[in-house]
């Protein structure tokens, strides 16, 4: 990186920041060059996932939101989750292209096609995350 990516922590409990901070420092290299700001958030209502990331390339920003379940994971799973979410930023251009192509599909195909794409994307990101995180044995 030719510049330093700035990270902000808004509303993140201290224990979560203390646990996630070193992982973001260690794996920050996974974010592409367009990410100038990594905004870290906490959502105590997030029950369906331990974390999620939103890539906003037009603002040069990615927003990583942790849910309360992340703190209940062991250290290896926490690291994998962080790597998984950061890997999504690398594939954001594919997501953007897919969203553009969706409008050209017949409406009755969109739901099925979107599910297939989302499943394939998650499989690819998960595979990358497992390849990048060293198994603690």
Question: What's the pLDDT band for 135 if we cut at 50, 70, 90?
Answer: low
SS3 (DSSP) at 32: coil
| Cα separation, 30 vs 132, whole angstroms | 10
Q: Which of 26, 33, 54 is nearest to 132 (CA)?
A: 26
Q: From start to end of 17-111, where are the E strands? A: 37-42, 51-56, 61-66
56 pLDDT exceeds 60? yes
Q: CA 12 → CA 120, 121, 136, distances in Å?
A: 31, 28, 27
SS3 (DSSP) at 41: strand
pLDDT of residue 48: 84
Taking only the tens place, the pLDDT of each residue in 57-82 is: 999 999 999 999 999 999 999 999 99
pLDDT of residue 137: 39
Taking only the tens place, the pLDDT of each residue in 76-98 is: 999 999 999 999 999 999 999 99
């Amino acid at each position: 990186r030719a510049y330093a990516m700035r990270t902000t922590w808004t509303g993140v409990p201290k224990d979560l920041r203390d646990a996630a901070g070193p992982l973001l420092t260690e794996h920050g290299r996974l974010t592409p060059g367009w990410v100038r700001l990594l905004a870290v958030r906490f959502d105590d209502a997030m029950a369906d996932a331990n974390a999620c990331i939103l890539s906003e390339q037009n603002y040069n920003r990615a927003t990583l939101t942790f849910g309360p379940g992340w703190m209940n994971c062991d250290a290896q799973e926490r690291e994998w989750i962080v790597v998984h979410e950061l890997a999504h930023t690398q594939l954001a251009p594919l997501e953007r292209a897919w969203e553009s192509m969706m409008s050209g599909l017949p409406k009755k195909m969109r739901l099925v096609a979107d599910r297939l794409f989302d499943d394939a994307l998650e499989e690819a990101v998960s595979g990358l995350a497992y390849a990048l995180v060293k198994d603690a044995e």
